[in-house]
Structures are given as C-alpha cells and as structure tokens.
Structure 1
Amino acid sequence: RPKRATAPAAAPSAPAAPAAPAAPDTARPTALAIAHAGLDKKAEDVTVLDVRGLTSYADYFVVMTAESDRQAGAIADHVEQTMKAQGITKVGVEGYEGGRWILVDYGDVVAHVMNRESRGFYDLEGLWADAPRFTVA
C-alpha cells in the first residue's frame, strides 16, 4: 500500500509581540475646540477631517462654511481668540483680505473657513475622500 504524503509540521511560532501603545492623539481636542468656536459664530456644515497618515503637514482639517465674507472674518477671529485663550497660538493665517477662504494654521490642525461657493469649488471633502470625518453640531 502506498504511503500518503503528509503536510510538513508547522514550525513553532514565536509569541506575538505586544502591540505598541498608540501615540496619544493630542490634535483631536484642538480640532474639536476649533469646530466649536466656529459654531459659536454660526458657522455651517462644520466637518472635521482626520488626515493623519494621509498628509505630513497636519493631523486634522476643520472645514466650515460662512454665509458672507464678513462672517468668515468673524469666525476666523473667534477661532483665534478661543485658541489663544487656551494657550494655543497659530502658526499662520491667510485669506483675510478676500474672505472667501480663510485658512488658520495651528500646526497639527488647519482651520478652513470658506464661503459656500469656495467650499463647493475646492471640495476639500472630495479631495480628501479617504479621510475619516465627522460633523460637529
């Protein structure tokens, strides 16, 4: 009677290495504070995009809509005042002169205050479609 082929014995496996502890997400509270500051000034469609691992220059984008250029300036000003009161200073700001898209950079978090037309045209949510997101209300 012919011998049956047997599967080779599996090599003993090494014990699994413990998972490295996840680094604390220090930018998320900043993103949420920016989102809430925008809501204080009646920003609409406030969305937080988690771009960690998708870009090297930020962890979160906070995107919000203003109904007018004047409101965009008021939202950006209030975001800056709120963050400054929490001891968080901006790295830079751009777009105040036009008001259609004001960008306030806090390093790990970038706030985008946009009028409806600019938000639709630039479609940051579409551009960063792979980013997990949540709406803040």
Structure 2
Amino acid sequence: MAPLSVLAARKKTSVTKLTRNSRIFKTIIKAIQDKKAENIISLDLRKIPEAVADFFVICQATTNTQVKAISDFVELMVKEECGESPYKHEGFHALQWVLIDYVNVVVHVMQPETRKFYKLEEMWSDAEATGHDL
C-alpha cells in the first residue's frame, strides 16, 4: 500500500492558501462528522515548506463499510457544496486507508490499526493539530 505516492507526484499550488474557514475545509469536516468518523484531526501544514498540501484531515472508521461511506460522502458533499472533484483518490479497493486529494487539502480515512501503524500525526508533528470530534 503506497497511498502517499500520489502526494510526491505533484507540487502544492501556492496561488491560493486555504484556511480553516475555507469552504472546502469546512465541507470536508462536516461530511466526516455527519458519517460519525472518530478521532478527527486536521494538521495545518502551511508553515512546513516540505508539505505538499495546506492541510491534512485525518479520521478513522472501524469497518470497511464505514471507511467507504465516509469517503464517498466527503466526495459527494465537496462536489455539491464546492463544485470540486478530487485530483486523485486511492484505497477504495482495500478500504484500510482511503486518501482523497483535493491538492491543498488531503483527506485520510483510516481504520484504527492502519492509523496506528503509519502514525501520520507523528510524522507531521511540526504541524498544528486541531481536533474536530463532536
């Protein structure tokens, strides 16, 4: 499994910096919350020069079905509310870790074991983390 490979293949656009108040960011968080994801965290990567996005949004789901439901709903709501489709998405076959890449915001929907193994929050520990659980 190499879902981060997509991130290395393209450059972050610096034309429009997103904020936590950006419409796409709020839409993603709300969609994830609506599908009852757990341990929802956003990492603000804007001050990290090596980062390929402005934000990572990371959450977890306990079953393949829930991972798919969250991922599908994020894509649906962002399309409806913001008129944007993902640049790329990966992981819909195994449903252990689905990555949805909106260029400046990358969504990671993970099962708990996968999240614990890859430790994205630790890998990007220089980023400011914000919890979004209800």
2:30 and 2:115 map into 1 onto residues whose CA distance is 19
**How far apart in 2 are the matches of 1:126 and 1:65?**
16
Q: 1:89-120 CA distances to partner (integer Å, 9 max, x unpaired)?
A: 21010000000000000010000000000000
Displacement after TM superposition at 1:31 (Å): 2.4
Higher relative contact order, structure no. (Cα contacts within 8 Å, ≥ 6 residues apart): 2
Corresponding position of 2:69? 74
Does the aligned pair in 2 maintain the 1:27–1:109 contact within 8 Å?
no
Q: Is the 8 A contact 1:62 1:110 kept in 2?
A: yes
Two-structure CA RMSD over aligned residues (Å): 1.6
- Higher CA-based Rg: 1
- Indicate conservation of the 8 Å contact 1:101/1:115, yes or no: yes
Tell me the CA shift for residue 32 of structure 1. Answer: 2.8
5+ long unaligned stretches in structure 2: 1-14
User: Does the 8 Å contact 2:45/2:53 carry over to 1?
Assistant: yes
Given that residues 47 and 134 in structure 1 are in contact (C-alpha distance below 8 angstroms), is that contact kept between their aligned partners in structure 2? yes
- In the alignment, what sits opposite 1:15? none
TM-score of the two chains, using structure 1 as the length reference: 0.78
Matches within 5 A, 1:121-132: 121-132=117-128
Asked whether the 8 Å contact 2:78–2:84 carries over to 1, the reply is yes
- Bigger drift between 61-70 and 50-59 goes to 50-59
- Counterpart in the other structure of 1:94: 90
Q: How does 1:14-29 map to 2 (within 5 A)?
A: 25-28=17-20, 29=22
Listed one character per residue, the Cα deviations across residues 34-56 of structure 1 (whole Å, up to 9, x for unaligned) are 12211111100000000113234
1:57 matched residue in structure 2: 52
